[in-house]
Amino acid sequence: MRVLVVGSGGRESAIAWACRQHGHQVRVEPAFDASRDRDVDLVIVGPESALVAGTADACAAAGVACFGPSASLARLESSKGFTRALAHELGIPSPAFFRTDDAHDALKWWRTLERPVVVKADGLAAGKGVIVPDTPADTDAAIRTLADQGPIVLEERLTGPECSLLALCDGRIARPLPLAQDHKRIADGDAGPNTGGMGAYAPAPVPYDAEELTKRFVQPVLDHMAAKGERYVGVLYAGLMLTDDGPKLLEFNCRFGDPETQAVLPLLQSDLAQLALACCEGRLDAVDVVVREGSSCTVVAAAPGYPGEPRTGGHVDGLDAPDTADALVFRAGLDGTTVTGGRVLAVTGLGADLAAARDAAYTRMSGIHFDGMQVRRDIGWRAVPAALASYAAAGVDIDEGARAVAGMKTAVERTHTPAVLAGVGSFGGAFSAAAIKAMDDPVLVASTDGVGTKVELAARLGRYRGVGIDIVNHCIDDVLVQGATPLFFLDYIAASTLDATQVAEVVTGMAAACEAAGCVLLGGETAEMPGVYAPGAFDIAGTLVGVVDRADLLPTPDVEAGDVLIGVASNGPHTNGYSLLRKVFSWLPMDATPAGFDRPLGETLLVPHRNYLPVLRAALATRKVKALAHITGGGLPENLPRVLPDGVAAEVRLGSWPVPPLFDLVRQVCTSLDTHELYRTLNMGIGMVLVCRAADVTAVQATIDERTWVIGELIGGDRQVHLVA
């Protein structure tokens, strides 16, 4: 067909684009001219001003099909007072309203209403004749300002999300297009003055069916007008507010919306021109309105100064890139590449869902620039909360958290003693300190730590209990180096999605470690944090409190050069170096058993951290141990200095203990990693270092029921560790 689109903005660009997709010849002109345009097959009218001016009537007189209502019917948009009266007559859900041209009467009605209102110019205002005042003073000023310009309509101010219902009408029936949501305010977060629209998206996630809304808000108007002998042909656009009392009518527009058209028409698979012609001929029921799957998001770029006095004449860069399957540019206030209007252009993104469509729109918009360009960065933001029906919909399952607590309760309470006064299920754990009164000068020692990236490997292999043991034993060893024995432990588990079985496994591991150490698992916290952790990921941290009599506090003040270092074996990497280890073995299957290993790689890496308390209890009882160093993150080079006084350094003899196969393999394959870096990343087989006098070495080693090694000695120096071959 030969199609004439009347208008010159972004909406008309989108209408023309939609018609051209189906092979029609399309012209876009500011107005219909009967002497020039008698040869066209179809006129589609864009702006409301052309409809009010009688474009449809002129087309009828010329015998040209026109998709747009007559000037008489266009009063639905040109007079808000007319629309309010009609909606009241037809029982269409609407706010309370008052029409007047007298500011005094308007102020009186508002004060009698005793509720916030919206102040509207009764006639056409290009989307800018609406004021939503925030305070009584603002309301007073808005009424006086608009009343000075002509008749006004006051409406009870409704609250709730808005949606745009665009229905194709043939005078008898109406068929809706996908529901859209417009963004009227100029600034992010729906702040600033109203505009003609800074963006839109479709379909809007509203809890109402478009067909049902059409029956409630559009069909009664068609029926009423038909009964009066007037066929409403064109788009009837109902702006709706979804209040707590249900949808209510904000306004009627008699044409495609802008920028809703740019969002909705790219989703239409049917031939728009054929649908429009069917409406003109009264046979819309004979054609299908087919909509593609997916979503659209339209972002508007506006000129500086808009919506007040836009500054024009600027040059626009980035328009030379062609449209793609997922990003379309609709030009509006442009003359070639020069800004000529307030809303300069719109970019519509398309995608399988709104997130993809939004990304496509903003990606394309990022390549467009002109001075003072105004672009909202939050188009579509309301769609996310609109889809949330519960905390679980945000990824947090409170019920699963309760199941996790129930699953761990037995394991936790197995560690409790009469000293526990309040545990799992309380806001805070309560622990009686009566037992420490027997000490002469008790000192509380606390440690907080985490398992680190070892948890990623545990999650990947589905082996959770060991990392529960890890965190407890790590903290036990951290207070042990000060001579303290544990009193109680508090845990923290965070996950992308809470899995009660997984949490129970982790806590069961914690409980087993606490029970073995004579420590109370007093309580803790589980947190579900979608969007913070990757799907399936989790993290573990914990705090342990121990006690030691001040006389037994380590390190002792007499640590000095000449003292000897005794190494106690680690049983694996413990909880350190896993970012390196995961990288090293990223292409090696976890169920492989490398040469020299006695178990698969995954099991080797997940061996739980040792608890050195039972290993060293007897040695500490001799009071011959001057200091302990737990070899954690930083390895030997970073942890030994933590127990050394000024003027003392350590010399560690490499090769004085056997390096376990795992660490030896890492040493072999990490050919670019120097020795110092290797030994400060991994413990390399030494998990705890004891410091004692040279004369006491034999006695101390005799108290430890496993093989230990003299790995070096203290020397004069600057609190550094020297690794020597």
Q: Which residues contact 383 (CB under 8 A, 6 or more apart)?
A: 181, 201, 204, 205, 354
CA 692 – CA 616 distance, rounded (Å): 13
How sure is the predictor about 358, in pLDDT bands with cuts at 50, 70 and 90?
Answer: very high
Q: Is the pLDDT of residue 562 over 60?
A: yes
Q: What is d(CA 285, CA 273) in angstroms, rounded to the nearest whole number? A: 15
Reported as a pLDDT band with limits 50, 70 and 90, residue 191 is confident
> Alpha-carbon distance 486 to 542, whole Å?
13
Kindly tell me if the per-residue pLDDT of 606 is higher than 50: yes
Structural Rg of the chain based on CA atoms: 38
pLDDT tens track for 614-651: 999 999 999 999 999 999 988 999 999 999 999 999 99
Q: Please compute, for residue 25, the number of CA atoms within 13 A of its CA located in the half-sphere on the CB side.
A: 5
| pLDDT at 391 (0 to 100) | 40
At 274-327, the pLDDT tens digits run: 999 999 999 999 999 999 999 999 999 999 999 999 999 999 999 999 999 999
Spatial distance between the Cα atoms of 646 and 453, rounded to a whole number of angstroms? 34
Helical H segments across 38-128, by residue range: 48-52, 55-62, 75-78, 80-90, 103-113
Could you tell me the strand order of the sheet in which 246-253 lies? 174-176, 162-170, 233-243, 246-253
Quick one: average pLDDT of 452-465? 91
Query: Above pLDDT 90, what percent of the chain?
Result: 72
Taking the CA atoms of residue 178, residue 183, residue 189 and residue 191 in that order, the dihedral angle to the nearest 10 degrees is: -160
User: How many Cβ atoms from other residues are within 10 Å of residue 725's Cβ?
Assistant: 6
What percent of the chain clears pLDDT 70, i.e. is strictly above it? 93
Task: Tell me which H or E stretch contains 662.
Answer: helix 661-669
Please report the pLDDT score of residue 419 as a whole number: 65
According to the model, what pLDDT value does residue 396 have?
46
* pLDDT higher than threshold 90 for residue 592: no
Which uninterrupted H or E stretch holds 410? helix 398-413
Looking at residues 536-565, what average pLDDT do you find?
Answer: 93
pLDDT value, residue 399: 58
Which segments of 451-563 does DSSP mark as H helices, in order?
A: 454-461, 465-480, 500-517
Cα pseudo-dihedral 160, 248, 282, 60, rounded to 10:
-90
Q: In terms of pLDDT, which residue wins out, 381 or 275? A: 275
- Which residue type occupies 159? T
Closest CA to 654 of 641, 636, 672: 636
User: pLDDT tens-digit profile of 111-170?
Assistant: 999 889 999 888 766 555 788 888 999 999 999 989 888 899 999 998 888 999 999 999
Residue that is written with structure tokens 């449809």 in the block: 56
Domains of the chain by start residue, with CATH: 2-67 (3.40.50.20), 96-157 (3.30.1490.20), 395-552 (3.30.1330.10), 564-724 (3.90.650.10)
Among the ranges given (232-236, 271-275, 519-523, 545-549), the one the predictor scored with the smallest mean pLDDT? 519-523
DSSP states along 194-240:
E-S-SEEEES---SS-HHHHHHHHTHHHHHHHHHTT---EEEEEEEE
How far, in Å, CA of 558 to CA of 648, rounded? 11
List pLDDT tens digits, range 407-451.
Answer: 555 666 666 776 655 555 445 566 667 778 888 888 899 999 999
Cis link prior to 555 (omega < 30° from 0)?
yes
Looking at the DSSP bridge assignments, the partners of residue 349 are: 297, 327
pLDDT at 410: 61
